[in-house]
Structure 1
Amino acid sequence: MVLPLWTDTRIHLDGDGGFSVSTDNKIHVFKPVSVQAMWWVSALQSLHKACEVARCHNYFPGSLFLTWVSYYQSRVSSDQARINEWNAMQDVQSHRADSPVLFSEVPTERERTERLIKTRLREIMMQKDLENVTSKDIRTELEMQMVCNLREFKEYIDNEMIVILGQMDRPTEIFEHVYLGSEWNASNLEELQNTGVQYILNVTREIDNFFPSLFEYHNIRVYDEEATDLLAYWNDTYKFISRAKKAGAKCLVHCKMGVSRSASTVIAYAMKEYGWDLEQAFEYVKERRVVTKPNPSFMRQLEEYQGILMQFKMLFVTYSVVAGHVAKYLMCKCRQLSDHILFDPFLQLSFPKWFAGLCNLEYTTIQKFGVCNLKNIYFYITRIH
């Protein structure tokens, strides 16, 4: 794994021969694989030194520090199941079962019975008019089908009924490649597979990734609270959803109920992807998922995000106008040159004085646009030529 260390990084000994590293709202637990491996003092010292450097230079997530880490992250070759295991958290409220590929022991008699109950219970509930039956009616029919008394499984059956009820509320298709849903949708493997979901964006702190070996996950570990800074994550969530779209796959964005955190994230995605203002994006999402209701803080953050996107759009338009005028001038000058002269952008970038002379422009004028902008102007020329 590749683990960047930020200013908030803390290292804790667990008293069991290992230690944990908490950073960027994530906790990574390191356990020794053998007695020999417990001799990790030098590694621990190196970690403490790296943390001290991070605090000294104020390395914080989202900054331009440690950008080189992405080079190594892109070269991690472990299978997705092992990578996702790093996202497992001990204090979540909704826990996932072991991944199917990890089952190694023969299930107990109780486990086999529970699996059968789960299957039969779903079939019964799908066939019944749930407005006109009670939990006892369903449990009685379940006992008749299984030909046994399920009194000792009463609590398990009641809990499964709640889960199945939640899963029967299907996720909402917002765009062809984006579904918006709840915890129940994220835990319904059959539904996820039938809808073609391959990417899951989990916008919760309290809910685990239910199938880490089967889907590609991205976690935004936040609570639905006024103090939560969700805006800080929308650039990452946009990239994740875009990656699913580029792969021709579908992405489920979920929180606890699919009302506030995940809905806000999808609205932010729509604003950036389609250039919509907040009102248009909000109405579009709410029209498809009527329970959409970001908390007041998230609405303020969406308004702020709208302002940020508008500023970028204005800068882009301004730059495009300037680039267009410069491009036309350069094209005019280049046409006056001999056809044998090579119009080389790399030569321009390396020798701006030569480029200025070539185009009969003042060197100071070239300096105003800068090297990076000159390169963009060149590609602008090649597009409109």
Structure 2
Amino acid sequence: MVKGAALFLQQGGGANCPKTQTHQENAGDLPQHLQVMLNTLRCEDRVKLAVRLESSWSDHVRYMVAVDTNSHQDKEESILVGMDFTVCPSKSCSIGMVLPLWSDTKINLEVLRGFSIRTAGRFHIFKPVSVQAMWSALQVLHKACEVSRRYNYVPGSTTFSWISFYESRISSKQSCVNEWNTMSNLETPRPESPVMFSDQLTKRERTESLIRTKLQSIMMFQDLENVTSKEILNELEQHVSWNQREYKEFIDNEMLLILSQIYKATLIFDYLYLGTEWDASNLEELRECGIGYILNMTPEIDNFFPEVFCYYNVHVFDDESADLLAHWNETHNFIMRAKENNSKCLVHCKMGVSCSVSTVIAYAMKEYGWSLEKACNFVKMKRIIAQPSAAFMKKLADYEGILEAR
């Protein structure tokens, strides 16, 4: 995991403020220069999150910082501040971008390219240095946007008058400012991601990073319905030298992850979608699909929009010890609530491959009286990446016996 990728901060910034409390998501030790970054903020403002982004320059470190404050009406207002750090001179921090999150803000995942934010005629793409940092950012940003919509912060209104403090301090080098404002055209491909902190990465981490980048590139331009895994691996071998036995599990997992990112939520029944963490975080897509209920089958992923959708959580890890069967009556009832209320339900886990798939198969068996074989084949026909683990298949077999006995 890349160090210094995402940091949550509870207190305000400024040199005279109380000591800032921080919490890092698998980010290693707090980078020394972050205190300098905090000192550029007003003392009364709060930093919700600082996420490190990829940079085109080796001597340049970029952070997307989510900052909020309470207005004179005691309502929360949030902005994004683009912070630029240069390696030389050390500890020099400047502002390169200021972006208020208005009520019209739309956030979209750009597959393999981070996420985009569109608001008040402005468009930016942000590419965190790790997937986990990206999810941390998305959770904070979606919640901030919900506040803006709730209070109707319309672009051009008198809201966000306090950002003039930051806008007047935009002083990054022009090359840095340009980087904050580039890539506004979605059709323009981004360059391959640079390897961050190369002096701290192990040989295996560097190899995994290279495999991941090449594998993503290969799979994005393949007809995945007519290509085999062996053909993909053969093409990968032309670009990367790797030990098949040592990296087999890593490559298998990466292929599943990439597939889950490429494929959108799958419509299984006219009231039930099956998807991934990506799908659960895309507010616009959820609304377009008419989803009102979300069944979250993960212990580690937060509910992104608790004020918008009805959630039911099953905190089960995808491993052999997970007692998924014990939850299937309740998950069936939750899906039925969506159907009976003329709404739709999204069932998701992290990748939409095993845990959530098994739950949908169990639902189909109970609701339609199908055998395990018929339900499994039906779901796999709809979602080609569906692949319940051996442990979950055993639970499904047990569940089939229970249903038959009833």
**More helix, by proportion:** 1
Whose relative contact order is higher, 1 or 2, with alpha carbons under 8 Å and at least 6 apart? 1
Which TM-score band (shorter chain)? 0.3 to 0.5
**More strand, by proportion:** 2
User: Which of the pair has more CA radius of gyration?
Assistant: 1
